[in-house]
Structure 1
C-alpha cells in the first residue's frame, strides 16, 4: 500500500513539474496576459485594461517605433511599465520641459530605446529617466483583451510623437 501511494505521489509530482515547465516556457517565450494600471497610457490603455504581450518580437529584435511594450522598471525590478517606443538606438529625440520652454535633443545610445506614455502630462518615462536598455523589454503589446468593447489591436499614439525615418518607411 505504501509503495502504491508513493508511486502515485511521485507520478503526480512528475506531471506537476512537466506542466509547470511548459507553462513557464509559454509565458517566457510566447507571451503573457497583463493587467495595466495607472494613467500614463491613456487614452490608448486605461486603468485595469487587460492586454496580451507577445515575447517573440523582443527575442527577434523586431521592436519598432510606435510599438507599445512592457518593460522592467529601472527603479523597481519587481514592477513592469507599459510605454510606447518613441525612439530606437541612434535616433535623435527632441524633448521639452513640462513648461514647454526648454527643448533638448538626445541621441538614443546603442542597445537602448526611448519610451514615453501616451498621456505626456501624467507619465513618468524616458523624459524623466532617459533611455532604457533593450534588455529590459519583456514583450510587445499586440492586443487589448478587456474591456470587451475595446477588444482588438491598439492604435497609433494620440500625441503623434512617432516620426518614421525614410529608412523606417522603406522597411515596412
Structure 2
C-alpha cells in the first residue's frame, strides 16, 4: 500500500513581519496622498470674492476655485475669462475681474447714449463689433466713456489700440467696480489665475456662466454713436471758446483807463 506524503505546512509569517508590511502600506498611501495634495494645490487655488464689483455673476463672499496653470505653456487669457489679477497701481492686493479687451484689439466705450456700448475691433482689424453682455446686473451709467492711452476713463469716447502684453478688464457691476477704467491696462504678468468654479455657497455650486459675445454693428448705429461723440466734442470746444473770450474781455476791461 502506497502512502501519500503530506505536504509541509506553509510557514507562518512572524507577527513582526506582518506589522511591518501593514505600516509600509499606510506610509505609501500617505505619501501618495501628500504628492496629490501638492500637485493639486500647486495648480489650483481658492479665491474669496470680496465686494460687489462682480455682482451679476458673482456675489460678495462667494468662494471660487481658480486654475493657476490655465495660462501656462503659451496659453493666454481669452475674452470673457474671469481672472485673478494684481492691479498695476496696488501690488499688495488681488482683484477678480472679467477680461474685455485683448492685446491688439481696438476698443472704444461710448457713453454718449444709453445703454452704454463697448465697441471692439478684434486684432484691430475689420468693422466695429458690439460686445453683448447679458450678465450685466443693471444699466451702466458711471465711468462710461473710454479710453485714454493707458486705458483709463475719458470724458468722451476715444478708440484705444491695446498694446501687446496688455489687457483691458472690467467688473460686471460696472457702476461699482474699480477696474481698467480707473487703474489702466493690466500687464500679462499681473494675471495670476482663471476662476472656473463656484464652490460656495452650495446652492450656487457650479460654473461661472457664459461670457460675452461679439455682434455685428449696423452702419446707422455707428453713425449715431459717432454723431453723439462729435456733438459732445463740438459742445466742449464751444464752451472752451466762450470761456476764453470771457477771459479776454475781462482782461481788456482791466486795461481800459478810467473815464
Distance in 2 separating the partners of 1:35 and 1:124: 17
> Quick one: structure 1 residues 129 and 96, their matched pair in 2 at CA, closer, same or farther if it must change by over 3 Å?
farther
- CA shift, 1:96, in A, is 4.3
- Secondary structure of the structure 2 residue equivalent to 1:38: coil
Structure 1 position 95 matched with structure 2 position 146: no
Question: Between Structure 1 and Structure 2, how many residues are aligned?
Answer: 142
Note the C-alpha offset of 1:44.
0.6
Distance 1:99 1:76 in 2: 20
Paired with 1:36 and 1:55, the residues of 2 have a C-alpha distance of 17
Deviation at 1:76, TM superposition (A): 2.4
Instruction: Say if 1:94 and 1:106, in contact at 8 Å, map to a contact too.
Output: yes
Structure 1 CA distance for aligned equivalents of residues 202 and 167 of structure 2:
31
What corresponds to 2:184 in structure 1? 130
Name the structure with the higher strand share: 1
| Structure-2 residue corresponding to 1:58 | 71
Aligned with 1:58: secondary structure?
coil
Rounded Cα–Cα distance in structure 2 between residues aligned with 1:78 and 1:135: 15
Written as runs of structure 1 = structure 2, the 5 A alignment for 1:8-87 is 23=38, 26-28=40-42, 30-60=43-73, 61-87=75-101
Distance, in Å, in 2 between the alignment partners of 1:50 and 1:150 is 10
Counterpart selection for 2:174 from 107, 120, 132: 120
Structure showing greater Rg: 2
TM-score in terms of structure 1 length? 0.73
Offset at 1:156? 2.9
Q: Deviations over 1:87-109 (max 9, x none)?
A: 11001111246365721211111
Q: Which runs of no fewer than 5 residues in structure 2 stay unpaired?
A: 1-33, 112-141, 146-155, 217-259
Looking at structure 1, the residues matched to 190 and 89 of structure 2 have their Cα atoms a distance apart, in angstroms, of 12
Determine the C-alpha separation between the residues in 2 that align with 1:74 and 1:107.
19
Looking at structure 2, the residues matched to 76 and 26 of structure 1 have their Cα atoms a distance apart, in angstroms, of 29
CA shift at 1:115, angstroms?
0.6
Pick 1 or 2: higher relative contact order, CA cutoff 8 A, min separation 6: 1
> Would you identify which runs of 4 or more consecutive aligned residues in structure 1 move more than 6 Å?
none
Which of 201, 204, 210 is the aligned partner of 1:147?
201
Q: Which moved more, 1:42-51 or 1:99-108?
A: 99-108
Q: Which runs of 5+ in 1 are unaligned?
A: 1-18, 166-172
- Cα deviation, residue 132, structure 1: 0.7
- Asked if the contact 1:95/1:127 (under 8 Å) is kept, the reply is no
